[in-house]
Structure formats: C-alpha cells, structure tokens
Amino acid sequence: MSEARTRGPVRIVGAGLLGASIGLALRAKGVEVILDDVSPATVTLAIDYGAGRAAAPDDHPSLIVVCVPPDVTARTVAAELAAHPHALVTDVASVKLAPLTELRALGADVSRYIGSHPMAGRERGGAVSARADLFVGRPWVVANHDGIADRRTADLTIEALALDLGAVPIEMEAAEHDRSVALVSHVPQIISSLLAARLEDASDAAVGLAGQGLRDTTRIASSNPELWVQILTANAEPVVEVLRAYRDELDAVIASLSEHAAPGARRAIAEALAGGNAGVARIPGKHGQAKHFASLVIMVADRPGELARLLTEIGAAGVNMEDLRLEHSPGAQIGLAEIGVLPEVAGRLAEELESRGWKIAGAFS
C-alpha cells in the first residue's frame, strides 16, 4: 500500500455513494475518516461498510469534503466553514458556479473553500453501492476562484485527495466547468431519459427486440429523478444552450428524413451521422488517452466460465484488452463480446483466438 498524500483526519459530510466511496478509498490508505450525515441510519450503514468512524465533539479535521445534494451544498459548506475555522472545505456537487455564488451571498468565508467535482458515479446510490475504486482513472475537477486565501495549498490539498483516490485532477474555472458538464453529462442524461421514456408504451414484442445499442444509450436513464432535477435547474442556462443547438440539428434531420427523396436530403443525413463519428472519436479512452482501438466481436457460448476462459486466453496471447462490451439477447444461446485492442495487435489476436476454437463474428478498425 502506497503512502497517502492526504493528511487526516478528513471529515466527510454526506455518507451516500460518493461520500462513502471517498471514505473507503481513504481508509484503504490508512487515512482517518470522520463520517457525518443528517441521517443517522446512513452514517451507521457507511460505518458498517468500513468507510470511516462517527463524528465526535473534539474532532479537528484538516479537510472537509461535503457530499450532499446540490440544493443544500452551499448551506452545508457554510456551516462547516463556521464550525471548523482551521479546515479547508471542498464539495463534490455536479455544479460549481451556483454554490460559490450562494456562499458569497450568505457571507461565508470562501477563503477556505474550493469547489471540486469527481466525474464519477453509478446509477444506484447510497453507501451500499459505494466502491473504493469508483474514482480510479476519472477526472476530478478542481474549481479555483479568486477568493481563496492560500490558493497553492488549497490546490495541492485537493490534488492530493484526487490522486489518493486514483483520479486525475484537472484545474478549471467554475463557469467553464458548468458549461463543460452541461455538454458531456447533463444533456446526455436528458436525452437518455427521453429516449427511454419512448419505451413506456411500447409493445412487449418491440421491447423484446432491444439490443446493446438501446442498452448503451439508455443506461443512465435509471438515475434518480429528484437528484437530477436539482442538478439540471442549478445549471439551467448552459444546459438550455446545448439543448437548443441539439433541437436545431434534430429538426434538420427530421426535415431531411421527411423529404428523403429531395436533392441533398441523403447527404444531410449522412453528414449528421458523420458528425457523430467525428465527435465520438474525441472521447478519451483508457487512461484518458484519445487512442483509436480496433474491435473484435467474438461469439461466447452461454455457459458458466466461458467469458472467463476468453479473457484468460486473450491474456495468454500477450494482448492487453483496452475495452470490453457484452451483448446478450434474452433466450439466446450465445453472447457477443466486443473486445477493444490496439490496431497493431488485432490481426494476431484474431488468429490466436481462432486457433483456440473461438469464432470471430466481426472485426472493425
């Protein structure tokens, strides 16, 4: 176990998914963690999972991490700043400009406050879903502002926290952060939810045809509506800006499909789809690298141990797997495993797997 960069004790306010996950990761590095929450049951559950200990009157935390819903983030941060005058306070809310603005309006001492935001989460919440590796490889935004008394110390403290959790710290101004997450997180949530809502009145026969494409695009639609109402309304202006641009592009596709025999209609549709190709190519892959991977689609029998055998034999071939996606239709006797690898090893891996009896259903570069 490597030595922790973070110096405790660390007080975590809000012992749900993010708070408990931070606690688990810090405890694994030997950092003292104090847990608090408005719900005694939530604290007890997080303690039972090993995320930290209960708060005590004589606690003197050096760092406080506020992990509460966006609508109470600023008030909670203000209370922690007042109660612990020597501690640096951060929060992990999904928006950064609104809490800072509210804190200033409340007259809070923002000289010891620096917002942050780990780009990580799960569809399920609560300490029961917490994981010590939740933040590994994920960006952790450090949202500086001009009111911080000791900006270098604040930066280094949050950077140390992010690195101890396996995250990648990224400095970003609060307004830039909010514009960015509107594009890459908040609008995708709305689109995924609206798409999934179309299934509510669909026939059983139609839903039974669902494949991995639908599962991929609707995965986040099972997220908590109450929490997302808070996030979206707190970041409404940037979200609306992206949605309006999306609406205009969607209207153009609808017009082209409605008159698909008209000159230029097919080209317009093709360019819309090609724009998606260009955009997805910019999404960072493994370890944040914008590399292009080749894909092999391998047929896997629906028997216990088959997927494990495939992964073992990929390792035996000396190939590092960069990505993995699984597709299995209900009732089917086989599944499809789409393996992402570096292009230069794709051909060799395909030959090696075929020699071991695996059937390659497709290859894409």
**pLDDT value at 288 more than 80:** no
pLDDT at 169: 95
- Mean of the per-residue pLDDT values of the chain: 92
CA count, 13 A, side-chain hemisphere, 347: 1
Token match 């280094």: residue?
A: 156
Sequence spans of domains, the chain: 10-172, 178-280, 287-364
* Mean pLDDT score, 295-299: 89
- In the sheet that holds 115-118, the strands lie side by side as 115-118, 139-143, 168-171
Tell me the C-alpha distance between 233 and 219, whole Å. 22
Of the pLDDT bands very low, low, confident and very high (cuts 50, 70, 90), residue 80 is very high
For the chain, percent of residues with pLDDT exceeding 70: 96
Domain 10-172 class? alpha beta
Helix, strand, coil % over all residues of the chain, rounded to 5: 50, 15, 35
Residue type, 192: S
pLDDT at 361: 87
First to last CA, the chain: 39
* Three-state secondary-structure class, residue 215: helix
pLDDT single digits (tens) 153-174: 999 999 999 999 999 999 999 9
Asked whether 124 and 16 are in contact (CB, 8 A), the reply is: no
CATH 1.10.3660.10 assigned to 178-280: yes
Provide the angle, in degrees to the nearest 10, between the axes of the packed helices 236-258 and 187-197. 50
Q: Tell me which residue of 355, 293, 363, 300 sits closest to 323, measured CA to CA.
A: 293
Please state which of the four CATH numbers 3.90.580.10, 1.10.340.30, 3.30.2130.30, 3.30.70.260 is assigned to the domain occupying 287-364: 3.30.70.260
pLDDT single digits (tens) 243-263: 999 999 999 999 999 999 999
